[in-house]
Structure 1
Amino acid sequence: MSELPEQAISRDPAYPHWARVPTRWHDNDAYGHVNNTVHYLAVDTVVNAWLIAHAGLDLEHGAVIGLCVESSCRYVESLSYPDAFDVGLRIGRLGSSSVVWELALHRASDGAKVADATFVHVFVDRGTRRPVPLPEAMREPMTSLVRP
C-alpha cells in the first residue's frame, strides 16, 4: 500500500485521507473481476495502516486494540487486476470507545467509484476485551478525519 502523490488526491474532498492498494493476480475471480472479499481486505488495510501511522496503534504491545464489530460494502463498479484501489478514508462518528469509518473505493486507472464501505471499530482492553475509552493520543489524530 502506498500513499498517493499530492497531485493525485483529486478524489472526493469529503475524504481527507487517500491511500492506494494494489490488486494481485489471484484477486480476480472466475468472472474476471476482483472478488468482493478483496474490497474488505483493502478497507481493513487502509483503516489499520492509518491507525498505526497516525494514531499510534501498537499491534503487539498496546493496551488498547480495535475490534471490528460491523462492516458493510455497497458495490458500484467492477475492478480487475492489475488495476488498483484508491481508497478515501474519513470518520463518520467518533464515539467514546467506537469509531465508524467510512471509505470510498475508486478504480485507480480512471477514478471511477467502485464501492462505498463502512467499518466499525470498538476499542477494547487487550486483556479483558471489554470496551474502554479511546486514549487521547489516539483520539486526537482521529479528529482530523471526522466528517458529518
Structure 2
Amino acid sequence: MYGHLNNAAYYYYFDSIINKYLIEHCGLDTCSTNTTKPIGLVVSSQANFYASASYPHLIHAGLRITKIGNSSIAYRVGIFEGDNLTACVVGGYTHVFVDPNTRRPVQALPKTFIEGLEKLL
C-alpha cells in the first residue's frame, strides 16, 4: 500500500534464511517427532532500516553467525534489493536451543550444528 515492503516482512526473511541454513547445513529437522532433539526459541531480535525495498525487485539475503554459545546462536542478516550493494535492512535474532519437553536450555548445541555454523563465523 505504501510502495515498500512492510517492516514485518523483513523478519519473515530473517526467519526463512536462518532456518533454511539450519536445515540444509546443520541437520535441523523441523518436522521431527523426536522429543529429544533441541528446538530453537527466539529470545531477542532487532533490525536497522537503511532504505526501502519494493515490489517487484528481487531480494537477496546474506547470513552470518556472530556468536555461538553453549545453547545459543546469534545471527546477522543483510537484506539487499536487486544488485544494490547497500543493504536495505540489517538485523537478525538470537536463538536459544532448549529441550522440547522441559523448555530449559540444552547443555551444548549438537555437533552437527557447530560444524555447520562455524562456516559462517
Shared fold per TM-score greater than 0.5: yes
CA contact (8 A) 1:83 1:109 kept: no
Instruction: Give the corresponding residue for 2:119.
Output: 144
Instruction: Give the corresponding residue for 1:130.
Output: 104
Aligned pair partner of 1:102 in 65, 76, 81 = 76
* Farther-moved stretch of structure 1 (33-42 vs 83-92): 83-92
**In 1: Cα distance, 2:83 partner to 2:119 partner:** 28
1:76 correspondence with 2:39 = no
Unaligned runs of at least 5 residues, structure 2: none
1:55 correspondence with 2:26 = yes
Instruction: Give the corresponding residue for 2:15.
Output: 44
4+ runs deviating over 4 angstroms: none
**In 2: Cα distance, 1:75 partner to 1:120 partner:** 19
Unaligned runs of at least 5 residues, structure 1: 1-29
CA shift for structure 1 position 109: 4.2
CA shift for structure 1 position 105: 1.1
Instruction: Give the corresponding residue for 1:10.
Output: none
**In 2: Cα distance, 1:89 partner to 1:112 partner:** 15
Q: Percent identity?
A: 38
**In 1: Cα distance, 2:15 partner to 2:73 partner:** 13
**In 1: Cα distance, 2:16 partner to 2:10 partner:** 10
CA shift for structure 1 position 104: 1.1
Q: How many correspondences in the alignment?
A: 117
**In 1: Cα distance, 2:24 partner to 2:4 partner:** 31
* Farther-moved stretch of structure 1 (31-40 vs 108-117): 108-117
Per-residue CA deviations over 1:16-54 (Å, capped at 9, x if unaligned) read: xxxxxxxxxxxxxx2111111000000000000000000
SS at match of 1:140: helix
